[in-house]
Amino acid sequence: MDQKFLKRLILECPLTDFSQNGNVTERQLQLDKYLEQFTSFLYANENQLIQHFWQDYIASSEIVLLQNSKMLRRCFIFLDCAAAIYNYTARKSKGKKNSQIAEHISVQLQNDLNQYKSILLLAMNGCFNSVIVEYRSLYESFVIGQYLVQNPDLVPVYKDHLQFLRYHLTQLVGNSTPEWDKIHDEYLNKYGSEFAENYGWTKSKIPNKKDRKIGTLAKECNLENSFTVLYKYSSSYVHSSAFSVSTRPDLSQIKIFFQAAMHFIESEINDYLRESKLPAKDAVIMRNILVFLYQDFEKLDKNLKRDL
């Protein structure tokens, strides 16, 4: 989505009160009506937007599925708008002293938008099994991010853990140096031997070693169980009894994974908007853009086989 268009969309919004005071329901109806015009414009100009996506995202990819699948086109519209909103917010925040959690969310959003783009490219090329597998990484990233939002004091510990893992891996593969070994040991002296575990950075919050796992973090964040169900299902495409050996899903079966991914990104952008302390008008309009697109995606015909 063009940055000038997004800026104009925000400036021309007739609403002036974006607080939670007064008749919130009436204001939400007015905002919904305004954003309906925006989404109608997007859907009416799908062909031009597809050309934009081709130039910016997928110049070297096959686009047969993208041209023929309404579901995938809507996925790309969501990606384009989410990326535009992230870039708009990042520019607005430039020069400000952001909190550590805001900086972490910014980095995570960049990674997750790239991950989302990756699974779209896989789907465009018919790699539906891989879409399901890649959902695991996106889910884990989202859960960790939400846990850090709830426990911002852990952000520096988590960042140290990411750095530590680089040195730890070089030791495991026998490719370390004395200098790297020293840095590796300094981290262990600071945090203890359990820091070397995958979720060792959560020790101060989760004393029981057996509970330091992705499932515990998800429960602490009160995430919807359906996301965890999808995570377990995607795991069945990875392990030794992998479904991928004997099954071939189609577009209708992967829609729910894209739907979950959209929810993750929408939630992370909400966190980023909040932590970046954007003006209420900007934040409310941009947040509702993604809500609108997500809700429209939910309404798509469940029988998507005819997309092919």
Q: Specify if 226 maps to a domain.
A: yes
Q: State the total domains in the chain.
A: 1
User: Is 45 within 8 Å of 61 (Cβ atoms)?
Assistant: no
Fill in the amino acid letter for 124: M
What's the pLDDT at 308?
Answer: 45
Q: Specify if 241 maps to a domain.
A: yes
Q: Specify if 54 maps to a domain.
A: yes
pTM of the model: 0.82
Give the chain's radius of gyration (CA, Å): 21
- The domain of 286 spans 24-151+205-307
Q: Specify if 258 maps to a domain.
A: yes
- What is the tens place of the pLDDT at every residue in 198-221? 899 999 999 999 999 999 999 999
Q: Specify if 228 maps to a domain.
A: yes
Q: Which residue bears the tokens 């539906």?
A: 128
Q: Specify if 163 maps to a domain.
A: no
Q: Specify if 175 maps to a domain.
A: no
- What is the tens place of the pLDDT at every residue in 129-145? 888 889 999 999 999 99
Structural element, H or E, at residue 65: helix 64-68
Task: Please tell me the least confidently modeled range out of 14-23, 82-91, 254-263.
Answer: 14-23
Fill in the amino acid letter for 297: F
Mean pLDDT of 26-50: 86
Q: Which of 85, 89, 59, 71 is nearest to 2 (CA)?
A: 85
Return the number of other C-beta atoms located less than 10 Å from residue 308's C-beta: 12
Q: Specify if 8 maps to a domain.
A: no
